[in-house]
Structure formats: C-alpha cells, structure tokens
Amino acid sequence: MTENLVLGKKIAEGKTKIVYESTNANEVILEFKDDITAGDGLKHDVIPGKGYLNCAISAKLFEVLESAGVPTHFIKYIPPNYLIVRKVTMLPVEIVCRNIAAGHLLQRFPVKAGDPLNPPLVEFFLKDDELHDPMLNDMHMAYLKLANRDECDEIRKITLQVNDALKEFFASKGIILVDFKIEVGRDGSGRFLVSDEINGDSCRLWAETEKGKIFDKDVYRKGGSLEEVKNVYVTLYKKLIGQEPKY
C-alpha cells in the first residue's frame, strides 16, 4: 500500500475506479483500476499499468485546469494510482464538448468526420448503460431534477473553460483536442466542480502532424490489441508528463 494513504470504507465502484472514504469527511479517495471498457461496458479488458497511467494523466490535467482557474475536485495525486479529491454529489450526466466531428455524432447529426465544430458543441447525456446514455436537453435535465436551466448554462460555461484550457495545453504538446467528456458534481455549498477523471479514456486526441495517429481509447474501441492500447497510453503519458512512466 502506498505511503501516506489511509483508505476508508469503499463507497462505490464503477467500471474504471473505486471510491473510498478518507479520514477527512469532505474528501474521498479514487483508486484507478486497470480495467478498460467500451460500448456501454460490453467490451471489457484489463491492461496492467493502465490505472497508473490514467491516474497520473488525470492529475496532470486537473492541475492544468486548476492553474486556469477552473473549479475541480482535485486535491492531490498519490502515486501510482490514487487521487485525493473533494467529495461531491455527482450528477449522473456525461458532458461532452466537441471541437471536431467524430464518434457517435456522425450517426445522428449532419456533419462529416473531421468537420470543425465552431463554436464547440456541448452536449449532455444521461449516464445509463441500459438506455445507452440518451442525450438530454435542458428540459430533460430539469425534468429529471438534475439541474435547472441556469445550472445547465453554468455547466456549459465551465465545460467551455475546460475546453479552452485543455485545448491550449494539448496544443503545446502537438496534440489536437478533438472532443472530451467530463463529469461534474456539487460540493457542500452547491458549487459545481469538474470531477471524476480526464485522460485518454475520456478525450479524443489526434496528432497535429502525423495524419491518422491517435492517442486515446479509440484504439481500443476500433479493435487494437491490448499491447497497442497500452502503448498509446504510455505515449500519451510521455507527451504530457515529459518523462518515462515510473511504474
């Protein structure tokens, strides 16, 4: 077990992370697992070391957001695969922001793969694997008591701030931020914090110079071998952190 870390009771376990209580009631500890899933959890594998890489990358990207003044849950990275974060009440919603047309959008919107989306498109989806994560508009959000209209505006504003900060950071590493998914939660005072994780599982990332080269989970979705997928996460780690992985 990692030093300086006291894991409390397990509160929740999802597809890629476990949530533990911390000794501080306002915080929780996220453990990143080596699991990788796609297609609403139907495709599932385990890639040793993936939890570490994604946790370290998430920590780095949360630091980038904090430096840009975006409110996040991030407190501390405990290597190899733990984040200490502010405890929030999560919204069971995936907030997607798109700069370039890719993925599911192509099947339900009149755009072609690779079309620039300017201004960026922000979409809400209910986290519900059985219903295949249906898209929500502001009235659905209000009906399900997830967020009122002003709060939907606030979430979109935060999402666009995330986009600006991450786009600039990735560009400095020669990477194009095609799209990404975030999740938000409310802290004790009701303020929205960017929570959960941000890494190659939740972003589409394309190389600026090498056409067709990608650094994200699409390699897995499209049937790449587990070795290829691991290499992609290692490459992303090296590009973003600027050193070899330690674990």
Ligand X SMILES: Nc1ncnc2c1ncn2[C@@H]1O[C@H](COP(=O)(O)OP(=O)(O)O)[C@@H](O)[C@H]1O
Interface with ligand X (CB under 6 A):
12, 14-17, 19, 28, 30, 73, 85-88, 90, 185, 195-196
Query: Which residue, 91 or 177, is less far from ligand X as judged by CB?
Result: 91
Query: Which residue, 73 or 98, is less far from ligand X as judged by CB?
Result: 73
Q: Looking at the DSSP assignment, which residues form a beta bridge with residue 46?
A: 35
What's the closest the beta carbon of residue 12 comes to ligand X, in angstroms?
5
DSSP for 150-198 reads HHHHHHHHHHHHHHHHHHHHHHTTTEEEEEEEEEEEE-TTS-EEEES--
Tell me if 55 sits within 8 A of 80, measured CB to CB: yes
* 186 CB burial (10 A radius; 0-12, 13-18, 19+): middle
Query: Which residue, 86 or 98, is less far from ligand X as judged by CB?
Result: 86
Query: Which residue, 16 or 81, is less far from ligand X as judged by CB?
Result: 16
What's the closest the beta carbon of residue 26 comes to ligand X, in angstroms?
10
Tell me if 112 sits within 8 A of 100, measured CB to CB: no
What's the closest the beta carbon of residue 99 comes to ligand X, in angstroms?
23
Residue whose C-beta lies closest to ligand X:
14
What's the closest the beta carbon of residue 103 comes to ligand X, in angstroms?
17
CB atoms within 10 A of CB 106: 14
